Amino acid sequence: MATTPIRSQNVQQAGRMKKDESFLGKLGGTLVRKKKAREVSDLQEEGKNAINAPLSPTPTDIHPEDTMLEENEERTMIEPHSKEEAKFKELVKVLIDWINDVLVEERIIVKTLEEDLYDGQVLQKLLAIHTKNMVAILHLLVALAMHFRAPIRLPEHVSVQVVVVRKREGILQTSHVTEEFTSTTD
C-alpha cells in the first residue's frame, strides 16, 4: 500500500506536466501562427512592391557616404539607365573576364567590379584603387587594358551619363556629364 500513494503522485505530476505541455504547446503554437502570419503579410507586401516597382521611376543610386562631401569635393555616380545599356554591360563583362584570366594563377575570381575591386587587393595585383567609384575603376581598367595591350577587344564608343555631386557653400549640387570610356580601337 505504500507504493500506491507514490504512483498516484507520479500520475498527478504526469497529468500536470501534460497540462503544462499542452498550455506551452498552445502558447508556442499561437506564437508560431503569429510569426507565420507576419511572414505572409511581409511576403505579400514584397510582392506588391515588386509588381509596382517597374512603374515607379528609378532613383539615382546615392549612398549616404556619397553625400558626406568636403567643400568643393566631387563624387561621380553612373546613372542607373546607363548601367543597363548593352555596350556598358559588354565593357564590364570583357574587363571582368580579362581580370579573371590574368589572375587565374592567383586563384582570384572577380564577379562584380565595384565590390571585388573596392579594397584594392585585387587591383594590387594589377595596380591599386581605394574607392567604390565605378567611373574611376572603369577608366583605370580600360587604361590598363590598353597600356598592357591586353588580348581583348573593348567595345567601341562606350559612354555613360554620370551624376556629379559637388558641395559648395554647404549645399550639395548635382550636374549630369557624359563620361566616355572607349572610343575607336585600332
The Cα angle at residue 114 between residues 183 and 96, in degrees rounded to 5: 60
Question: Could you tell me which residues are beta bridge partners of residue 179?
Answer: 160
CA distance 38 to 22: 24
Q: What is the pLDDT of residues 48-80, one digit of tens each?
A: 666 655 544 444 455 555 567 788 777 788 888
Residue 17 is predicted with a pLDDT of 52
Q: What is the pLDDT of residues 92-119, one digit of tens each?
A: 999 999 999 888 888 888 999 888 888 8
Residue 89 is predicted with a pLDDT of 94
Higher pLDDT, 20 or 87: 87
* Reduced 3-state DSSP string for 118-148: CCCHHHHHHCCCCCCCHHHHHHHHHHHHHHC
Higher pLDDT, 45 or 103: 103
**Which whole-number Å values give the CA distances from 159 to 117, 176, 182, in the listed order?**
21, 13, 7
Closest among 130, 150, 174, 164 to 182, alpha carbons compared? 150
Residue type, 151: P
Closest among 95, 104, 107 to 143, alpha carbons compared? 95
Q: What is the average per-residue pLDDT within 124-142?
A: 82
- Contact between 125 and 108 under an 8 Å Cβ cutoff? The reply is yes
3-state secondary structure of 168: strand
As a whole number of angstroms, the longest Cα–Cα distance in the chain is 106
CA distance 162 to 69: 17
User: Which grid cell is 79?
Assistant: 546613372
Q: How many helices (H) and strands (E) does the chain have?
A: 7, 3
Q: What is the pTM of this model?
A: 0.51
